[in-house]
A and B are shown apart, each in its own frame.
Chain A
Amino acid sequence: AQKVTQAQTEISVVEKEDVTLDCVYETRDTTYYLFWYKQPPSGELVFLIRRNSFDEQNEISGRYSWNFQKSTSSFNFTITASQVVDSAVYFCALRAISGTYKYIFGTGTRLKVLA
């Protein structure tokens, strides 16, 4: 079975604080892809990053960084110096090569950044 767990339902931080959103996944496939999406109040899911199972390099993009650890089946997302515009719901998702190619979404973490 494939599963994505985002244990943090809601997080509130004050602007300029760093915040880490956790994502833990389960899959028996050796080849799979992990994603993070941002969903602002407008509704659209905005793609942030894709990582394949063979690439454990961490990635940094501006204030965003991602830590992928296969040993713990985690793909965590850190926002440095958070801003009010970061307020959104963030979804972690898994897509395996086998089966129906479905994207498995976590339940999402609502981030509130307070001014």
Chain B
Amino acid sequence: DTEVTQTPKHLVMGMTNKKSLKCEQHMGHRAMYWYKQKAKKPPELMFVYSYEKLSINESVPSRFSPECPNSSLLNLHLHALQPEDSALYLCASSPGLTNTGELFFGEGSRLTVL
């Protein structure tokens, strides 16, 4: 079982909806990541939080709004999305931003925007 838990596993939303994706880890990791993965493509980095502060924003549109309420939780707030935003959204964590070990991934939230 993965130690990074993402909810919901599936989400269908209209372009005017507001929804949130949630990610939780209890490994004591201090870096958390959001990736977007389109079909048959590698994961693309969106955001990185380090010690609950936003460290990297890969020029993601403002309709995606990340939030890190505490060291265990990471949210991605979604508003006014476009159909092309439909993808698998993966959360990951690592002990620290400069840690050279592997990323620990959740199973992802599969988003469909109608």
Contacts and interface: CB of A to CB of B under 8 A. Distances in A.
B81 interface: no
A107 B102 contact: no
B108 A44 contact: yes
Interface residues of B, number: 22
Interface in B64-114: 88, 90, 92, 97-98, 100-108, 110
Given A33-B100, A97-B100, A101-B98, A43 B43 contact: no
A91 B44 CA distance: 13
A45 interface: yes
Interface residues of A, number: 23
Contacts of A110: 40
5 contacts: A43-B108, A44-B2, A47-B102, A97-B100, A105-B42
Q: Which of A45, A52, A110 has the most CB of B within 10 A?
A: A45
Interface string A85-115: 0000001000101001111011110100000
Contacts of A61: none
A107 B110 CA distance: 19
Contact of A52 (B2, B100, B103): B100
A35 interface: yes
A50 interface: yes
A71 interface: no
Q: Which of B42, B45, B101, B104 has the most CB of A within 10 A?
A: B42
A35 B102 contact: yes
Contacts of B92: 45
Q: Which of B43, B88, B98, B108 has the most CB of A within 10 A?
A: B43
Interface in B36-54: 40-43, 45
- What are the 7 tightest A-B residue pairs by CB atom distance, in nearest-first order? A105-B42, A43-B108, A47-B102, A45-B105, A44-B107, A43-B107, A33-B100
